[in-house]
Amino acid sequence: GENTWGCGFLSRFPIVEINRKVLPSPDGELACLIDARIYVDGQIVSVITTHFGNTEDELDRHLQTEALVDLIKNKKNNEATIVLGYLTTEPLSDNYNKLVLAASLLDTTEDDDRYCQYIFYRGETKKVAFYRNDAGLLSDTESQVGWFLPVTAYKEYEAHPIFSDMSVQQDSSRRLLKHTTKQSLEIP
């Protein structure tokens, strides 16, 4: 069916188009994918969120990776695309490499101690910042925050950076991403 349990998509930007699909899962649990196109500062950005099946099902993860790669390859090569994925695979594994190489994705971090959660991007978008709060032994117990800008806005950001010095400060209740302006981005 069309059940995409396990996936959700919220946006503060207008959603132009949204497509939901169940990924191939012949041996295991249903796996979902949501492909949304949002309107951000005059540019369409494709945001894909997905939740692959359990790790025990090699065939499922292989087929789910293939389906995600096919979806991304069918987009315009320079279309701003961000992929938020619970992929149940290790960095540099066959499925990871297939996704990164065949779909021309860039990873937000080079950390090799992840297993589940990933944020990738490609096309007319640039990564400004990435933050990962690891709360346990598996990366499904963490939060990740990525900040991206369209290429044209990124060029302006480089010329006049909003943040000239970024550091992470932690107190007992939350982490704060501090910078030299009077604002701070609270990360729960």
Residue with tokens 């990924």: 23
Helical packing angle, 94-102 and 58-73, nearest 10°: 10
Read off the tokens for 125: 């978008």
- Distance from C-alpha of 115 to C-alpha of 98, rounded to nearest angstrom: 16
Read off the tokens for 41: 């500062």
Which of 51, 62, 160, 179 is flagged as catalytic?
51
Give yes or no: 51 in active site: yes
Which distant-in-sequence residues (6+ apart) come within 8 Å of 87 by Cβ?
A: 50, 52, 61, 65, 95, 96, 99, 116, 117, 118
Q: Is 81 helix (H, G, I), strand (E, B) or coil?
A: strand
> Which residues form the catalytic set?
51
